[in-house]
Amino acid sequence: MKLWQKATAVKQEVEEFTVGKDRELDLLLAPFDVLGSLAHTRMLHSINLMTAEDLDLVHQELKNIYREIQSGKFTIEEGVEDVHSQVELLLTRRIGEAGKKIHSGRSRNDQVLLDLKLFIRSEIQNTVEEIKELFYQLISLSEEHKDKLLPGYTHLQIAMPSSFGLWFGAYAESLVDDLLLLLAAYKISNKNPLGSAAGYGSSFPLNRQMTTDLLGFDALNYNVVYAQMGRGKTERNVSSALASVAGTLAKLAMDACLYMNQNFGFISLPEELTTGSSIMPHKKNPDVFEIIRGKCNKLQALPNEIALITANLPSGYHRDLQVVKESFLPAFRELQSCLSMMTFMLKNIIVKDNILKDEKYSYLFSVEVVNNEVLQGVPFREAYKNVGSAIANGTFVAPEAVNHTHEGSIGNLNNNNIIGLMNEVMQGFNFLQVTKAQEELVAD
């Protein structure tokens, strides 16, 4: 079944090529397609395009289909092109003529746009929850290990003292900035395209504000041409935000791999969280961190992939946009699994103490000694030369402690301020409004 099918049958080769992975991917969109139909049909009733009796029949069966989707019993049958066709087919089989009326005033174009927007909104919420859990795990580790010093590097050369408090806290604050981008992507996505039809509106007197309110959107995509132009652009913007989170995870995973290396030896993991070698019995490989790094590096390529697919498309709908779904829809679950595993690994991380007592780290404290001379009245450039000479002739003596007190330094992490920034960003998401709207749509 195809919503656009007429008398002429399409060649099987063309059908298989053009449908691609749509049936498989559309299962991810299925609950949102039903939500959209619940809102759209209520609007059709309000403008006298559906009777109260038909509306009752349609809603009762749509809610049954929604429950089937939630329980994993919903499938897209062979020969049925997409989720929209499958839902309409089920309705027509089960309730007859009333099921054929649900498509009035919309096109597959605005239907899939809506499904994507609702899917994105839901998956951003799931991603934010994973980010939040990782964020607080990092803050907890930062506080727990704030007094344990760690070498800091520039150019991968020993540079200045750092700490585990700074290291864990840095990635927590990085997630806050990533979340700002995700919030912007959420706000772009949280606008209703329904009613734009094929991209040029409808001659029916649709009440687009009504469906906007029923689905918990912040606003409309007002201009119907722009609503269609949002396909591809929305995915690119969202994928950029996902890529930012992935970048933070990939860097943290790389640090973890480096710090587990025996030449560094700053952290370790329980043996059951590592893998071994088929010929080297001593190996404890950080495979989880390596896979996180690889997957997150792949996710960072997604915005460029979408940009290239959509780069030279004029306004209006084009089938190229279907190709975007194949990489975009699975990206959320991929990132969420990486976030979840990173949190799990960090809950079991073993942090070494007294790292800087090793003689090779003595020169980490050279800046400390320079600054101490400056505090005693020696000009900085002269103090710098004095310490450089001491290092060169082997008389340099490292201090036993560091005293960093300014905001965001070893002795003043400002983790509470970073938590404040996180809370501020979190308040920008209207997850409760969305959840309430969706619950009301499917309620009996």
Domain ranges of the chain: 12-101, 119-146+163-203+222-357+428-442
Q: Is 399 left (phi over 0), alpha (psi -120 to 50) or beta?
A: beta
Res 136: pLDDT: 98
CATH architecture, range 119-146+163-203+222-357+428-442: Up-down Bundle (1.20)
**Domain 12-101: which CATH class?**
mainly alpha
> What is the C-alpha separation between 339 and 134, in angstroms, rounded?
7
Cβ atoms of 430 and 213 within 8 Å: the answer is no
Res. 20: pLDDT tops 70: no
Question: What residue type is assigned to position 352 of the chain?
Answer: K
The token duo for 429 is 């998401």
Q: Categorize the per-residue pLDDT at 192 as very low, low, confident or very high, splitting at 50, 70 and 90.
A: very high
Could you tell me which residues are beta bridge partners of residue 220?
Answer: 192
pLDDT interval class at 13 (50, 70, 90): low
pLDDT of residue 24: 80
- Per-residue pLDDT at 172 exceeds 90: yes
Looking at the predicted structure, is the pLDDT value of residue 289 above 50?
yes
Helices 83-95 and 108-144 meet at what angle, rounded to 10? Answer: 120
pLDDT of residue 17: 61
**What are the distances in angstroms from CA 75 to CA 30, 33, 58, 78, 83?**
9, 13, 19, 9, 9
pLDDT at 376: 93
Overall average pLDDT of the 430-438 stretch? 95
Confidence of residue 6 (pLDDT cuts 50, 70, 90): low
Average pLDDT in the chain: 93
**C-alpha to C-alpha distances, 68 to 27, 53, 86, 92, 355, nearest whole angstrom:** 12, 23, 13, 16, 57
**Residue 441 in tokens:** 């749509």
DSSP string, 60-95: HHHHHHHHHHHTT-----TT--SHHHHHHHHHHHHH
**For residue range 78-133, what is the model confidence (pLDDT) as tens digits?**
888 889 999 999 999 999 999 999 999 999 999 999 999 999 999 999 999 999 99
**In this predicted structure, what is the pLDDT of residue 36?**
98
Asked if the domains at 12-101 and 119-146+163-203+222-357+428-442 fall in one CATH topology, the answer is no
pLDDT value for 37: 97
224-267 pLDDT tens trace: 999 999 999 999 999 999 999 999 999 999 999 999 999 999 99
Quote the pLDDT of residue 274: 84
- What pLDDT, in 10s, does the model give residues 262-271? 999 999 999 8
Mean pLDDT value across residues 333-362: 95
DSSP bridge pairs for 88: none
pLDDT confidence of residue 205: 97
